[in-house]
Structure 1
Amino acid sequence: MKALILVGGFGTRLRPLTLSVPKPLVDFANKPMILHQIEALKAAGTTEVVLAINYQPELMLGFLREFEAQLGVKIICSQETEPMGTAGPLALAREILDDGSGDPFFVLNSDVISEYPLKDMLEFHKAHNAEATIMVTKVEEPSKYGVVVYNEQTGNVDRFVEKPQIFVGNKINAGIYICQPAILDRIELRPTSIEKEVFPKVAADGKLFCMELPGFWMDVGQPKDYITGLQLYLESLRKRFPERLANGAHVTGNVLIDSTAEIGEGCLIGPDVSIGPGCHIEPGVRLSRCTILRGVRVKKHACITGSIIGWHSTVGQWARVENMTVLGEDVHMSDEVYSNGGVVLPHKEIKASILSPQIIM
């Protein structure tokens, strides 16, 4: 099988991290976001993955070469010269996706983190003889989204309702699809939305089905949702692979610590924390609801909560970092500094407190 991942453009919502690497290469739970998806696709039988991208394809491919060999999956880029929406990339990659076999292919949005039940989805798709199958997920406030209205007995999609003001359902598109090659005949080589222009036509012909996503789902394309997604992901690990989580007197709740990270005495870490490779957490540090990326040093008695600390940064002694602070790569905070929602661009030194949320250029 083949798959296409919609990588897209500049990742502006996740800056300043995406000023250093393309968004799909930003680490989530100690591995690049896109690697979570490629591993799941491999497990479902995918042998070739197409990355639909219009930003830094050479960097992306160069980084993924080692994983290509490791996973035994062919990874190629389909580069857009202009933003092509969510359907245009399928037309652009048509010759790759439609190899004459008639086999279906997966389409994924690169921001989505879930348990990826792709094998179950493929069985569902084949059993319903669908032209396309979409994964849907339940939300608490459907008025914020485009709602999928469908027959819950058969899975047959009736229509889509954008941000309904009266209740029509609470299931939304989860950004995970399986399509037959025939769908490519519906897509022109131009910027096109698969959700608004293609799927409604497939639904009108009675050939669009949906399957409810079991487990968690989160679009992690912005810092607040990234931290929420981490919490959901770690809770999922607790249920499925508890041996991957850290334990000990210094750990509370769900925590992921790379084996090369060093943790000092008297720390309290968790809940909902990931600590990347080569990190050095000095004695007396308090971490909760945060991500510490590769090569970070957190000095004695610092406190970090609800934040993301970028690669090779330093947080000083007795510093306090909170309220969705995001430090870019190679940012160095002095001792006893406070950050309340600061967004700090790469390669900066912070000597004064950031008392209210702001961008530090």
Structure 2
Amino acid sequence: MLRNAKCYSTNSTNKKGKSGNLGLIMKALILVGGFGTRLRPLTLSVPKPLVDFANKPMILHQIEALKNVGVTEVILAINYRPEVMLNFLKEFEDKLSVKITCSQETEPMGTAGPLALARDKLVDGSDEPFFVLNSDVVSEYPFSELITFHKSHGGEATIMVTKVDEPSKYGVVVLEEETGRVERFVEKPKIFVGNKINAGIYLLNPSVLDRIELKPTSIEKEIFPKIASDQKLYAMVLPGFWMDIGQPRDYITGLRLYLDSLRKNSPSKLSQGVHVLGNVLVHESAIIGDGCLIGPDVAVGPSCVIEPGVRLSRCSIMKGVKIKKHACISNSIIGWHSTVGQWARIENMTILGEDVHVGDEVYSNGGVVLPHKDIKSNILKPEIVM
């Protein structure tokens, strides 16, 4: 049970457990990271992985997908508010039959250091590979394909890569097309060397842990290049969509891609009706008034009240929000238990934190509003409202 879970810190003296060989039980480590500053003001209320995405905490999408391929234990590598995360996920541990624990950093450990810190929990007598994920990545999570590919090539590590239109903005993974073996990494190339970038989803053999010291280390810049130089690193091109949703504009783009994926793979989960335009996800407990037009690319969360005549497009409406008559919201995120007044207009990546109340006929052009505020006057240009 989670209430008995322990958090291991960088100054811990815990010894390796003696549970023995657990057979073919697969484990996963999710890099939860730090303060989620790019998603403020939402992360002022909850840690970033608990921010709702398509009506459930973003980390829950990952845990459910891991469960579907047989993962029985998920370790959260975390350095910020671990008790909030664990208490929230306790109910899902029982519901999904997945053990959820944390490995807590007392100092930032980068993207590889947390693996060394959680070594005993990851290996635990098993030679099976384990997953590593960045917590703010959304995709169709093709984990079964990743397992098959990893076991076929006989290498030490597999990273998922995704194709991008402008590779000069990223670190590019150069690989041998026929086998998928990674040859090298090129950071923000000036000339075209490829269009595949690291997608933040890995399957690693336990031997990778022997390469990582217990200190702040980057898995992308320090560990993977060494494995590639030994010709033991492979890459699989991720099918379907991919997005890092760690900042608002990418969050909204990720919502569009996710809903489009639902349309292709699970269309019954999307809402239908005369008030729906395009891909829309409405929680069954939400109330939609007459004469509304909702969509495309909208998620309406639990216990929301959308009054008559409201127009919503390209936005996320979180739990307990009330949108009053004839309001118009586009390209924005409305945080939990907020209210938008009659005839109000919210647009251009406006982000309302938890419990924000926008008055009637108020206009917001890109306002970022901290929690528990009343907005009674227009926000005419993008600014932070303290």
Q: TM exceeds 0.5?
A: yes
Gaps of 5+ in 1: none
2:53 maps to 28
Query: Distance in 1 between the 2:124 and 2:83 partners?
Result: 25
Of residues 282, 286, 289, the one that matches 1:261 is 286
Out of 239, 242, 248, the residue aligned to residue 264 of structure 2 is: 239
- What is the alpha-carbon distance in structure 1 between the residues aligned to residue 221 and residue 157 of structure 2? 14
* Residue 66 of structure 1, CA deviation: 0.4
Q: 2:357 aligns with which of 328, 332, 342?
A: 332
Q: In structure 2, what is the equivalent of residue 165 of structure 1?
A: 190
Name 1:218's counterpart in structure 2. 243
- Distance of 2:84 and 2:319 partners within structure 1: 18
Report the counterpart of residue 110 of structure 2 in structure 1. 85
Name the residue aligned to 1:316: 341
Residues 58-137 of structure 1 aligned to structure 2 (within 5 Å) = 58-137=83-162
- TM-score, normalized by length of structure 2? 0.93
2:88 equivalent to 1:57: no
Q: CA–CA distance in 1 between the matches of 2:346 and 2:99?
A: 41
- Paired with 2:289 and 2:159, the residues of 1 have a C-alpha distance of 46
Q: Write the deviation string for residues 90-116 of structure 1: whole angstroms up to 9, x where unpaired.
A: 000000111222100000000100000
1:179 equivalent to 2:204? Answer yes
- Structure 1 distance, partners of 2:154, 2:97, is 29
CA distance in 2, matches of 1:120, 1:261: 36
What's 2:22 paired with?
Answer: none
Letter in 2 for 1:135: M
Aligned partner of 1:297 in structure 2 is 322
Secondary structure of residue in 2 paired with 1:47: strand
- The correspondence for 2:367, drawn from 342, 345, 348, is 342
Letter in 2 for 1:78: S
The RMSD of aligned alpha carbons is: 0.3
What is the deviation of 1:53? 0.3
Distance 1:313 1:26 in 2: 15
Query: Would you say 1:138 and 2:163 are equivalent positions?
Result: yes
Question: Hey, which bits of structure 1, 4+ residues long, moved more than 6 A?
Answer: none
Identity %: 76
Q: Tell me by how many angstroms 1:49 deviates.
A: 0.3
The separation in 1 between residues aligned to 2:318 and 2:125, in whole angstroms, is: 43
Structure 1 Cα separation of the partners of residues 116 and 187 of structure 2: 25
Q: Distance in 1 between matches of 2:326 and 2:353?
A: 22
1: CA distance, partners of 2:125 / 2:81: 31
- List alignment gaps of at least 5 residues for structure 2: 1-25
Alignment size in residue pairs? 361
1:195 aligns with 2:258: no
SS in 2 for 1:175: strand
Deviation readout 1:170-207 (Å, 9 max, x if unpaired): 00000000000000000000010000000000000010
